[in-house]
Structure 1
Amino acid sequence: MVIDNVIEPFLYVRKIHNGYPPALGRQRTYDYFDKYTFLCEMYDEDADEVKELVLNFFPFDNSIQIIDSSKGRNLVKRVQLPPLKIEMLQIGNIVNIFSRLLYIKDCAPATRKELYHNIQSTFALIKPVPPSAHGKIITFIMKKDFRIVRMKNGKVSKDFAKELYKNLSGSNLLPIVIDYITSGEVIGLELVAPDAVKKWRECLGDTDPVTAAPGTLRRLYGENKVKNVAHGCNTVEDANQMLNLFFGYENGVPRIPFRATYENCTCCIIKPHVIIEGNLGAILEQIATSKNFSISAIAMFSVKLADAKEFFEVYKGVVPEYEAMSIHLAEGKCVALEVKCNNPNINCVCEFRQLCGPRDPELSRQLYPDSIRALYGKNIVHNAVHCTDLAEDGQLEVEYFFKLLAND
């Protein structure tokens, strides 16, 4: 399908707009188009078919237009949609347009040139640092305008470590680095940004935290040349290889296994709006630094609407927000956690619900102002996190993500 066949020509305008678009970290005066155009797919339940649609986004007034490309007519006439932000319009994302879920498959050449110039993926590895530091590191990454599109914790083999540090081949430092990397839990991330490989290495700073520039990650949190917080690849080719080794599958089995234990646990789902708003790291830090809990497994997922409805099925006909809850879980990346109590005598599900607070963030702010939902929730649907309701469902909900969806 050729997008330009079903849209009117782009109009050039000049406008001062500091910090636009935020997802790409631009802060300048520049020429850009009056709209950005995306090729999308939408599943039509009534017709039981996938429709190809064109989504036009007009940045001046945050309005949208949807065109049914097969019929050449408007499906949604131009209308303002304040909840839709430019940073949501990334290829591979799902966006919610008046309860229609559109998968962004591609974009017009001019939109690609303007919004996605030199966009790259790179592989980042958080080394075996104390779990209390994970949230701070994730917050640092997101404040540097990286998008996290894949994420999970794991333990790596010596073969993986040797491939990761092949540039140290022959160095006396290599055995020490390999022993450290394989000694504990790591977190792998796929980071997306303009010129991501170079940018991530600049954010890391020098190998030695002592000589790293002020404000770099290693200067802030590193101990020495080996325990220097995180790793970055030198080239796009190396990054792609390590992304495949860390996140890839072999014969249907993940090369780096998920860390979920499915025992004495509860499930926490950090919702898409939290990730878009940059609060993922803060919530991870709040959980990890609480005296009662530890995060044993973490992974980022894209959830299909049918799966979201199945996961929330217990709420169907019980809470009026069931449909909206399902749509929100499916409209962006979410992060699933297996959470354990440090005290095995405590009911993990019930105790963790207290840390999250009541479903309604307004009620949380009144009763438990330091709870997760009080701090990061907006309303009953966008209430920051889902947490298991019933004690007997903790393991089942963890299994739904780390067994069923992980192998889907």
Structure 2
Amino acid sequence: MHHVGVDWGHARMQVYDYFDKYTFLCEMYDVDADEILELVLNYFPFDNSVQVLHPRRGKILLKRVQLPTLKIEMLQVGNVVNIFSKLLQITDCTPATNKILFNNVQSTFALIKPIPPGMHGKIITFIMNKGFRIVRMKNGKISKDFAMALYSSIAGNNMMPIIIDYVTSGEVIGLELVAPNAVEKWRDCLGATDPKLAAPGTLRALYGNNTLKNIAHGCKSEAEAKQTLDAFFGYEKGLPKIPFRATYKNCTCCVIKPHALIDGNVGAILEQISTSDKFYISAMAMFTIRVCDAEEFYEIYKDVLPEYESMCIHLAEGKCIALEVKCNDPTLNVVCEFRKLCGPRDPDLGRQLYPNCIRALYGKDIIHNAVHCTDLPEDGELEVEYFFKLLANE
């Protein structure tokens, strides 16, 4: 949805800034009228209820009603929220709401250095448990120029050539982390450069080996973070500055669904895949999907599954993470084998038959079943291409 400026003074005909509610400006596409409606969403944390207003028409579109599925973490500018199957994109909030919910909120760049893939899930879980919101994420391989810019603050240090060689030697994961005072907070969470000197409970104290292999990197200022985020996630002449790692060969597609991100289960899912004997993740990236994209991606289920519409809505109501997954044994059919790890579509059935499968452990119901995985052996490469070629270049 495009952003449309709104006169908040006009909106306040119906909306007042009380401390017992948070107020957001939203846009919703009205299919019947073929227009974008500018709406106001009030969220009442006391009883987890919502109200939707159409201020320009002076109408209450939804009277205040409890919505247990909506969590306050979902209410972020730019996010899409599902209000009884109507998708509203949050475009702004009132100054009072901003002051309470988003005071001093910043973005910072985090780089997970070349480490064994089995550790990625633990690192992601650590990050989310510390209260960071991951808004962008992808794996990649950085150039020496990128690495030198990243470590420009230690130019002239004897260790710099060794550090540059190390961080460019293998796969890294870049993340945009959002939190109050995110730049300082992330550096505090990292701990001292030398893991032996890092405070107990910090990332480097928990998982670091030495000054070189100390797990992750953090920026020192908001300006540096902004510049590095653009260098890692930005595009130049329509192409990503850091190419996606997808190979589109002998692979299957796994999509970690929005509810799994909100529930903080991304790290655990990544760890389960990466530590299995059969599989490894060759590419990962975070995407925001529109309903029309979800409908296209799920098209083969349109007249097959009664949950088709709900599946599309859920995939579009928050960020998701797409993975290209491969088998360590190339003679195995990766699509069929990976479906076993994911388990049945219905998590309840999975809990009865395969209690250790991904959907049994992290799924809630058929719609919110933690992950999508490719069903048909011939569709693995096509589904990976849909994310890493089509959506990635839009």
Q: Tell me, in whole angstroms, the C-alpha distance in 2 between the residues paired with 1:239 and 1:9.
A: 36
The number of residue pairs the alignment matches comes to 387
Pairing 1:130–2:116 present: yes
Pairing 1:197–2:183 present: yes
Match of 2:218 among 209, 215, 232: 232
Whichever residue aligns with residue 352 of structure 1, its letter is F
Whichever residue aligns with residue 83 of structure 1, its letter is T
Q: What's 2:73 paired with?
A: 87
Match of 2:378 among 392, 400, 403: 392
Q: Tell me, in whole angstroms, the C-alpha distance in 2 between the residues paired with 1:175 and 1:114.
A: 45
Cα distance, 1:4 vs structure 2: 4.4
* Alpha-carbon displacement from aligned partner over 1:170-191 (angstroms, at most 9, x marks no partner): 1111100000000000000000
Match of 1:9 among 10, 16, 30: 16
Q: What's 1:366 paired with?
A: 352
Pairing 1:39–2:1 present: no
Match of 2:141 among 137, 147, 155: 155
Q: What's 2:326 paired with?
A: 340
Q: What's 2:285 paired with?
A: 299
Q: Tell me, in whole angstroms, the C-alpha distance in 1 between the residues paired with 2:206 and 2:312.
A: 39
Cα distance, 1:262 vs structure 2: 0.1
* Alpha-carbon displacement from aligned partner over 1:73-106 (angstroms, at most 9, x marks no partner): 1111111111111111011111000101110000
Whichever residue aligns with residue 323 of structure 1, its letter is E
Match of 1:146 among 94, 114, 132: 132
Pairing 1:254–2:240 present: yes
Pairing 1:284–2:270 present: yes
Structure 2 residue matching 1:179: 3-state secondary structure: helix
* Alpha-carbon displacement from aligned partner over 1:293-339 (angstroms, at most 9, x marks no partner): 00000000000000001100100010110000000000001000000
Cα distance, 1:70 vs structure 2: 2.3
Query: How much identity, in percent, do the aligned residues show?
Result: 70
Whichever residue aligns with residue 74 of structure 1, its letter is I
381-390 or 67-76: bigger deviation: 67-76
Whichever residue aligns with residue 17 of structure 2, its letter is F
Tell me, yes or no, if the aligned pair for 1:99 and 1:327 is still in contact at 8 Å: yes
Q: Tell me, in whole angstroms, the C-alpha distance in 2 between the residues paired with 1:8 and 1:183.
A: 55
Q: Tell me, in whole angstroms, the C-alpha distance in 1 between the residues paired with 2:99 and 2:168.
A: 41
Whichever residue aligns with residue 210 of structure 2, its letter is N
Structure 2 residue matching 1:10: 3-state secondary structure: coil
Tell me, yes or no, if the aligned pair for 1:308 and 1:327 is still in contact at 8 Å: yes
Q: Tell me, in whole angstroms, the C-alpha distance in 2 between the residues paired with 1:154 and 1:90.
A: 27
RMSD of the TM alignment (CA)?
Answer: 0.7
* Alpha-carbon displacement from aligned partner over 1:215-234 (angstroms, at most 9, x marks no partner): 00001111111110000000
Q: Tell me, in whole angstroms, the C-alpha distance in 1 between the residues paired with 2:163 and 2:31.
A: 53
* Alpha-carbon displacement from aligned partner over 1:44-84 (angstroms, at most 9, x marks no partner): 11111111110011111111111112212111111111111
Q: Tell me, in whole angstroms, the C-alpha distance in 1 between the residues paired with 2:26 and 2:75.
A: 11
Tell me, yes or no, if the aligned pair for 2:17 and 2:23 is still in contact at 8 Å: no
* Alpha-carbon displacement from aligned partner over 1:256-279 (angstroms, at most 9, x marks no partner): 000000000000000000000000
Match of 1:327 among 272, 291, 313: 313
Where do 5+ consecutive residues of structure 2 fail to align?
Answer: 1-5
Q: Tell me, in whole angstroms, the C-alpha distance in 2 between the residues paired with 1:43 and 1:256.
A: 33
Tell me, yes or no, if the aligned pair for 2:10 and 2:56 is still in contact at 8 Å: no
Cα distance, 1:8 vs structure 2: 3.6
* Alpha-carbon displacement from aligned partner over 1:132-168 (angstroms, at most 9, x marks no partner): 0000000000000000000000000000000000001
Tell me, yes or no, if the aligned pair for 2:163 and 2:212 is still in contact at 8 Å: yes
Whichever residue aligns with residue 102 of structure 1, its letter is L
TM superposition score normalised by structure 1: 0.94
Q: Tell me, in whole angstroms, the C-alpha distance in 1 between the residues paired with 2:16 and 2:367.
A: 38
Q: Tell me, in whole angstroms, the C-alpha distance in 2 between the residues paired with 1:127 and 1:47.
A: 50
Q: Which runs of 4+ in 1 moved over 3 A?
A: none
TM superposition score normalised by structure 2: 0.97
Match of 2:194 among 208, 232, 248: 208
Pairing 1:242–2:247 present: no
Pairing 1:353–2:339 present: yes
Cα distance, 1:40 vs structure 2: 0.4
Tell me, yes or no, if the aligned pair for 1:4 and 1:108 is still in contact at 8 Å: no
Whichever residue aligns with residue 250 of structure 2, its letter is N
Pairing 1:405–2:375 present: no
1:110-125 alignment to 2 at 5 Å?
Answer: 110-125=96-111
Q: What's 2:298 paired with?
A: 312
Structure 1 residue matching 2:92: 3-state secondary structure: strand
Whichever residue aligns with residue 261 of structure 1, its letter is T
